[in-house]
A and B are shown apart, each in its own frame.
Chain A
């Protein structure tokens, strides 16, 4: 009964359970103070390094707890904070993703003149990830909301970090407005549920809903609908996605990756928990799953279908890579909503592992793609698709990794994305949701067009932006192309660039120290020509070592999961301790 759990004090052992979050919080405060005290001359990359250390520390703590707890669920403060395997797994994911993003930041932030406070760039990621972790662990609506706000408010600041860029300011402003709207919808929906049930605990809501439905059906519908809308804004699911294009474009690229992966992942995770812990319930006579529950899940499926279709169709004509990736994120939010929306059926309870597997695949390919975009856009001086032109000649390994991410995003075989989508499709089919299977598969095909647009740029165009076909205007094509593309007008410079890029590539893979010096000289060069950094675009792709690590890691894991997904699936299935509804 609610009265018993109204107040329950925090004990020391509870603090121990929350150690990862608390330690991160303390680390954050420490870094804020450190940043204030550090002289201006000291590179802020040190702060980045320390942030990374903190994240890895928290990662280890959670891993230890997971190994120790052995699947047992610990709930704190009257079940308002749950530490179960679902939460721990997600926290590990968020921390790992954030660590990758900090690495990306280390590779880019020092070249970004528009970012004035480079320290903030790193340490503000900490409260954001604490917010995401809180969301993953929340067992009641209030905790959930607090986590969400912590994540959101820090993200607003992060988006606006490029203070000298008006695009960034615009993005931050738009994000604040839509974010506020989203929170309003969520709170509104929650208030209805609380009003009817009299409790904010997910478990109690679940237990009381069947009874309450008899009297307050309309109110409960409204509550769920509002909450779904609010979360749909957060995860940028169509038709509530419009903010994401502008925000991703304006935000620093690694932060855009953070929004696409951690922010979206946390919101999706909470939709998952909320839907399965509250909305899934038996009808009063306990013989079948209630129709109201079915309809709430159906709304989720509708949002999923809209996202997949809109995300892919709108991306067909998109030429800006960041906006393209934002739309890809919209479509992927749709794919991730499918295992939530198909609910549980007799023949299919795999939703959790499908969701987590695809989330991991999505994390790897998205961060990888954003990582490549950071280096390509710096070389090109803009975010347009044409920046990728002829990349295969300039940096073949980078182009090959990009192919891998593109194949994975498009869901083609031997990539993590293929198995992710295949599992979801298999599950949705078992749940007999044939129409969503059709929407999913067909939207994947449409997406080939623009994902392969990137491939087209990298492999079939030369870097002056012309189509490779243009040199074969005259009839004697074979003769002209007899020496490959080196005969064309731009090829002299390209060959030189190729050589240079090749040099940097080898340096990146062999000696870090060498690479460091290249980066430093690059940095010096940047300083000189910085005012013109936007139109610089000399086409040489330099890969700073932290970015190189991120890209290589994402590429290897994407490929590995595409070839042997078995072990990961096993791990996820073994950890499955998410409470099933008791009926």
Chain B
């Protein structure tokens, strides 16, 4: 016990980027150094706090629950029925073994990306403003415990990313930004429909005050999950004493919501047919932003799928486990094969992300403890690895002006440090034991092997392919004949080396001591498995 639960620690973490945002507005734009210091501090603050929180949570094994709830808007609802009815919008945040690792990942990657933003030369002040707003949105989305709060933060990341891609990207940035906005906009719109359906049915609860009863519909996550899992809750009674119950969540509606959520987060993840926007973003956005996008925002899709799709609708998800597994397999193989064909390093990494997110889906589809652990482990691990890889891409591009594989080569001679880190990151990405990528893949596949053997067998082929394309591109960049004009370039500066070392350290840590992460995850996954076993899906 450190007394951490006495203070609104989550809100402090959430608001610290906003504070930084306000501070940099007051700084003169020409003072680049001041800006950098302010931004770095603003990102280090949530990092330090979430590390502390993580350590504290781990020690207590999730015994202490951190959550904060404040009423935001109470909108009266007129009904043809007596009583006081309300729509309630509340600010509710909280953490569990699922959000906490992702919160920490967000804090780490953002802090490193802030250092990597050294490559940003124009309009720094606005860049950092949007950057901090993006961090605010991401942290909020991971700790939100209310559907509308989640939606609001989700949309904030959307707007911030739009500006970050559209203003500071490469040549085709505007098209990339538009595609990003529209695809993700459609995703969030579908999500909103699902959320509204959920709130109007399962979001129901009654508050007893001294004078009267208040009937409330809200997006509170805890109320919704309680209503859904309680077979005697009003929402699960398809017929009530008067007749049919219009506010019940019958079978059809549950399926509709589940599929809507699957599509909404599938776009964000991205699942195979919806992935084209993310290639554009990887290609056009500035490296610091891609670090965040690939490292965190893609995880937001998987997190949403897990938190709202699987946790709320375990029965439906269980029935569709094979669909999830096959979608994951397609992602894995499609990403791997196309990554092998790319001539542009950034695209290799983009397809590699698709491929690795496939493993997350496979882990989810396993529907047992090992698989879910694996999926979460893969999320965190891939977040760190892809952030590291894009950090290196940024440094490479700054020096060579290209990321075409055919125009790079022999960099190990002039940049031994960067090349070494690149190789290490590549090895982590292909799943070398001792690095974090291995654990995630192993656990996911082990989990799936219990239920769907042939899918697992095919997935292993994908893993082999991963090794092929990663080694192909990494070796092409670092070894071989040195290209003209690439001889005189310098190795990493301190400000570049620092985040590389930090990220690599975390990758090695997770690879060697996976229990640092799995113990925390266990507190949530275990609970979910109990819940699952208690429902029809488990039997």
Contacts and interface: CB of A to CB of B under 8 A. Distances in A.
Interface in B146-172: 148, 151-152, 155-156, 158-159, 162-163, 166-167, 170-172
Contacts of A485: 122-123
A485 B167 CA distance: 11
Given A438-B193, A456-B174, A564 B152 contact: no
A146 to B, nearest CB: 32
Contacts of A419: 73
Interface string A539-568: 000000000000000000000000011100
B163 A484 contact: no
A347 B80 contact: yes
Contacts of B246: 345-347, 432
B81 interface: yes
Contact of A452 (B170, B181, B192, B196): B181
Contacts of B177: 456
Interface string B58-89: 00000000000000111111111100000100
A447 B182 CA distance: 9
A452 B178 contact: yes
A473 to B, nearest CB: 8
Nearest to B119: A478
Nearest to B78: A349
A437 B193 contact: yes
Contacts of A174: none
B538 interface: no
B502 to A, nearest CB: 24
A485 B126 CA distance: 13
A72 interface: no
A570 interface: yes
Contacts of B167: 459-460, 468
Interface string B278-300: 00000000000000000000000
B73 A566 contact: yes
Contacts of B188: 445
A17 interface: no
Contact of A448 (B163, B182, B192): B182
Interface stretch (A255-263, A318-326, A423-431): A423-431
A412 B155 contact: yes
B185 interface: yes
B156 A425 contact: no
A344 to B, nearest CB: 7
A564 B181 contact: no
A349 B166 contact: no
B78 to A, nearest CB: 4
A442 B189 contact: yes
Nearest to A576: B78
B76 A570 contact: yes
B312 interface: no
A425 B196 contact: yes
A429 B159 contact: no
A528 interface: no
B121 A481 contact: yes
A414 B152 contact: yes
A426 B200 contact: yes
A178 interface: no
B357 to A, nearest CB: 23
A146 B38 CA distance: 63
Nearest to B152: A413
A347 B248 CA distance: 12
Given A412-B159, A475-B401, A469 B79 contact: no
A214 interface: no
Contacts of B81: 346-347
A161 B415 CA distance: 71
A429 B200 contact: yes
A467 B171 CA distance: 10
A484 B171 contact: no
Given A346-B79, A478-B121, A576-B78, A441 B171 contact: no
Nearest to B242: A346
A398 to B, nearest CB: 15
A573 interface: yes
B231 to A, nearest CB: 22
B78 A481 contact: no
Nearest to A442: B189
Contacts of A569: 73, 75-76
B78 A350 contact: yes
Contact of B185 (A350, A445, A566): A445
Contacts of A344: 80
B171 A472 contact: yes
A467 B174 contact: yes
A349 B76 CA distance: 10
A442 B171 contact: no
A39 interface: no
Nearest to A475: B401
B181 to A, nearest CB: 6
A208 to B, nearest CB: 24
A484 B196 CA distance: 44
- With most chain A CB atoms within 10 A of its CB, the pick from B75, B152, B166, B192 is B75
A459 to B, nearest CB: 6
B133 to A, nearest CB: 11
A481 B182 CA distance: 28
Given A349-B78, A425-B192, A429-B197, A448 B185 contact: yes
A233 to B, nearest CB: 30
A432 B201 CA distance: 11
B121 A407 contact: no
Interface in B301-325: none
B199 interface: yes
B55 interface: no
Contacts of A477: 170-171
A568 to B, nearest CB: 10
Interface in A409-468: 412-414, 419, 422-423, 425-426, 429-430, 432, 437-438, 441-442, 444-445, 448-449, 452, 455-456, 459-460, 467-468
Given A347-B80, A414-B152, A484 B121 contact: yes
Contacts of A467: 174
A423 B75 contact: yes
- With most chain B CB atoms within 10 A of its CB, the pick from A444, A448, A455 is A448
A347 B247 contact: yes
Given A478-B121, A478-B398, A484-B123, A441 B192 contact: yes
Nearest to A414: B152
A469 B182 contact: no
B537 interface: no
Nearest to B87: A426
A44 B255 CA distance: 65
Interface in A269-318: none
A535 B190 CA distance: 45
A484 B122 contact: yes
Nearest to A443: B189
A573 B247 CA distance: 23
B173 interface: yes
B78 A441 contact: no
A113 interface: no
B213 interface: no
Nearest to B158: A412
B186 interface: yes
A511 interface: no
B196 A437 contact: yes
Interface of B: 72-81, 87, 119, 121-123, 148, 151-152, 155-156, 158-159, 162-163, 166-167, 170-174, 177-178, 181-182, 185-186, 188-190, 192-193, 196-197, 199-200, 246-247, 398, 401-402
13 contacts: A348-B79, A353-B76, A412-B155, A426-B196, A432-B246, A438-B193, A455-B163, A456-B166, A460-B166, A469-B171, A473-B171, A477-B171, A569-B76
Q: Which 4 A-B pairs have the closest CB atoms?
A: A349-B78, A484-B122, A445-B185, A413-B152
Given A445-B189, A459-B166, 15 more contacts: A347-B79, A347-B80, A349-B78, A353-B78, A407-B159, A413-B152, A413-B156, A414-B156, A423-B75, A445-B185, A448-B185, A455-B162, A478-B398, A484-B122, A565-B73
